[in-house]
Structure 1
Amino acid sequence: MLLVVLLVLAILTERGSIALTATITDLTQTSTERTSKQAFSTAEAGIEEAKGRLIGKPASNPNFIADPAAAPNPLWSAYILTSGSWTTAQDPDYNAAYTNYFPTTGSQTNTTKVVNGLQTAIPYWIKIRHKREYDAELEGHTPATPHYVDGDTSTQGNHTAANPGNIIYYGYHPASPATATEFTTATATSYQPVELVRAYGTGPGKSKGIEVELVHSIDKVGAPIQAPMYARGDTHFYNSTTSVSGNDNCGASTKPPMFVKTPAEVFGSPLYLGSPATPQYGALDLNISSLINSLRAGATVVTTDQSDSVFGSSNNYVTVYSDTSNPVNVNGLHFDDGTGYGALLVEGDVKLEDLDWYGLILVTGHLSYQGESGNPVRIRGAVIANQISDLTGNVDIRYDSCQVAKALADQPLQVKKWKERS
């Protein structure tokens, strides 16, 4: 009998030991999983900070971060830190050849390590740089299976970390005129680089990384800006003093003066400049109302006619929105003797009289210009409207890709790719 009792006790002890071991293992796995999730969540928070700080410009976003070079620098990189204990050894891809800035509100080119995150309670660090050809090749790009339009005359497809190739941009390349795509170029472009952002979050004894590719909001205009004036319907020019130029004020590209959706027509003989220097016709049908809806978030809403109004400034581009049916404005919106910087979005009809506008104008209805001999309507940027006419006086419209880019700068960036990093 004693022997049986001892055997039972031995079995129970063994089972208890196994159960205890299993419980400890489960708790350890649960703790590890919890720590891993915590680190992952902090990395996600880092990505969100980076997205917010890449929007806009210094005047509208005091925490703005961007490549300060006049033309994008292939070796630009910037760090955001939430802790002063960070060292370069923590970055598995640290490269001393890059600029490795630690941007502050006082300097985009600060190279002294400093805590420059918007908060310090959540532990993460972030690295931002432009996407290069080598990055695409790591993802599988080859000349035979391209991930981007190779427009820089170099299609070798065998770059290295030491020779990563050119910057990859996102926008409308001549080889892909109707669809935004990634591309390289051997000449200047008005489009922005793809930004490669890596954020590493930490939990107790655990680190997790996330990498995203962000693109600026060129998709917000739905299709490439074919010309400084786009019209879905007929356009009437009643004055030979009207001038429409597709020559880019920013120097990045040259476009025809107008693009007209067939079967609409253009009447009148203004001064046309550009390449070719005549209106172009085609099937491109922009949904102007949809474009306006995609851009109107956070806009200044205008419900009445405007006189001597100023919207924004050369350092602060804004979005102005008006729906002429809510409340009802029978004759449409009227701008007289004003100045604006940014995006002017009108659902309905609008008349521009003696107005200077720098940026982008979108109109779902009829857009009419009424300038004076000594004070023309001046637009530097681009116009997209359903129907267009000039009524009296001078109108001077010039394509400016930089003004369009500034008008869209405050739009959120889009995530094109996402993956975990070790």
Structure 2
Amino acid sequence: MNTEQKVNASTIVSPLKNEKGIILIAILILIAILAIIGSLAAITTTTDLKISSNYKTGVTAFYAAEAGINEARSRLRGSPSDNYYAGDPVPYNASWSAYILTYGTWTTSSDPDFDANYANYIPTATQTTNTNIVANSLQSNISYWVNIRHKKESDLFAAEAYTDNGSGADDIIYYGYITSTSTTLEQFTTNSPDLSRCAPIEIIRSYGISGNSIKGINIQAKKVLGPPIVAAVYGNSVTIGGTSVEVVGNDATCGSAKGHSDLVAVGYDTSYIQNGLPALTSNVAQTKDVGEINCTTYVDALEPTKTITLTEEPPNNYTFGNGSNYEIVYCDATQLTTPSDGTLDMQGITGYGTLIVKGNVSFSGNLDWYGLIIATGNVEFAGGGSNVQNVHGAVLGSNVTQLQGSVNIQYDSCEIEKANANNRYLTFRWKDKTFD
């Protein structure tokens, strides 16, 4: 017999329909998810900030290293008698090196390539051979240190060309004109460098510091030397007149004492015209076709090195530089407004250094110039009457159209060397160096 049982449905509750605590669990899960997302966001933000900070300090350190390179190139210009000069006191020494430091806590262990076999000077304002560790930089707001030394044969790349005229196993590599007749710039070694024609190639290592970042840069730097000096007077075409003109190609006493070579008195490319009986003196040749020298190329190369720019003609009896300060005087004569004939007129001038003229230059009145005169156009000397015009060094122009009156031009390699001392250094090999 079937028995019917009545069951109250409200008393039967499925566990799946028990909603007590579900909201709490959901909230906890949501909080956990949000916490994870927040943690990931914080980690990502922190990482990004660290990356950004590291990038910023790395870039700052790199720029500091570049600043060190620029200071070194600047302090290689000039001569050992100049304050803060950081170059090698002549005669050059293959074991020379110098440091520029922006902080006095630097130690030799700071340099991973420190070599005790080098001189390792720390040149100060008044002493190029100081060896005491002191802050000797001209910069105090940026942190870097720099090492400078001469390039040597061991620093040459496997396929790098050079002419070996030295005698040592690891001679200094020079850059310039290897002989008194050479018109091609090249790398070479030599036992008797003529510093009016060449200079050592310098290896500069600079390390910039910012926070925990250290960035290094290595460069090779060579001096801009200007045109090859193959004669006391050079022009594509040269015209000399009168009997009071004297051109001497034999080197002056200073250069002769150093064993430097004598030159042709007058060198030309296309023509030489002589009127009267000028005195031309040379142990090589009075006149010679020496080929073409493109004065425009060298004026353009030297222009960025200028220390004085003439925008108008200087007053009569003006003096440029002095015996201990050789200037690089530049004038674009084609841009002069008064006069506007493309000619720079120089009257009664005394000068020390290099005069570079884009256009023509004319000298009248008395003249005493120690160093180089280079022009892309015509060069004229007119030392008539009681006026005497003297050049101690050399003269180059596209055309030397007139030497007339009392004009004396004496080749002097030592004056040219002094004039070249202020020429800038160019970077021609560059690479990052990882500090490790």
TM-score normalised by L of structure 1? 0.82
C-alpha change, 1:319 and 1:12, in structure 2 (3 Å) is closer
1:328 is the counterpart of 2:335: no
Q: Secondary structure at the match of 2:264?
A: coil
Tell me if structure 2 keeps the 8 A contact 1:247–1:273. no
Higher strand residue share: 2
Change (3 A) 1:210 1:305: closer
2:155 is the alignment partner of 1:147: no
Partner residue, 1:208:
215
Identity rate, percent? 34
2:375 pairs, out of 363, 367, 374, with 363
> Residues 70-101 of structure 1: CA distance to partner in whole angstroms, max 9, x if unpaired?
31111211111111211001112212222211
2:194 alignment partner AA: T
State the alpha-carbon separation in 2 of the partners of residues 304 and 117 from structure 1.
38
The CA distance in 1 between the partners of 2:311 and 2:29, in whole Å, is 88
The answer for unaligned runs of 5 or more in structure 2 is 1-15, 17-21
1:343 aligns with 2:354: yes
Hey, what's the Cα distance between the residues in 2 that align with 1:312 and 1:419?
38
Instruction: Tell me, in whole angstroms, the C-alpha distance in 2 between the residues paired with 1:37 and 1:334.
Output: 50
2:273: which partner in 1?
266
Alignment partner of 1:388 out of 401, 404, 408: 401
| Shift in alpha-carbon separation, 1:22–1:306, aligned structure 2, 3 A | closer
* C-alpha contact (below 8 Å) 2:96/2:119 kept by paired residues: yes
Alignment of 1:20-419 (within 5 A): 24-57=46-79, 62-68=83-89, 70-136=90-156, 140-141=157-158, 145-152=159-166, 165-174=170-179, 177-190=182-195, 191-218=198-225, 221=226, 223-239=227-243, 242-247=246-251, 249-251=254-256, 252-262=260-270, 264-268=271-275, 269-274=277-282, 276-288=284-296, 291=299, 294-295=302-303, 297-301=306-310, 303-304=312-313, 307-322=316-331, 323=333, 325-328=336-339, 335-346=346-357, 347-371=359-383, 376-385=388-397, 386-393=399-406, 395-419=407-431
Any conservation in 2 of the 1:353–1:369 contact (CA below 8 Å)? no
Q: Distance in 1 between matches of 2:180 and 2:395?
A: 24
Supply the distance in 2 between the matched residues of 1:280 and 1:307 (Cα, whole angstroms): 35
Structure having the higher Rg: 2
- Classify 1:114/1:213 alpha carbon distance in 2 versus 1 (closer, same or farther; 3 Å): same
Please state how far the C-alpha of 1:121 moved relative to its aligned partner: 2.3
> TM-score, normalization: structure 2?
0.79
Q: Say whether the 8 Å CA contact 2:164–2:190 is kept in structure 1.
A: yes
Give how far 1:288 is off: 3.5
Cα 1:267–1:88 change in 2 (3 A) is same
SS in 1 for 2:149: strand
Gaps of at least 5 residues in structure 1 are 160-164
Query: Secondary structure of the equivalent of 2:374?
Result: strand
Aligned AA for 2:216? G
- Seen in structure 2, the aligned counterparts of structure 1 residues 224 and 344 have a Cα distance that, compared at 3 Å, is same
Partner of 1:162: none
Moved more, 166-175 or 118-127: 166-175
Contact 1:295 1:411 in 2 (8 A): no
Q: Which moves more between the two structures, 27-36 or 207-216? A: 27-36
Number of aligned residue pairs: give it.
400
**RMSD after superposition:** 3.4
Q: In the TM superposition, what is the alpha-carbon distance from 1:307 to its structure 2 partner?
A: 4.1
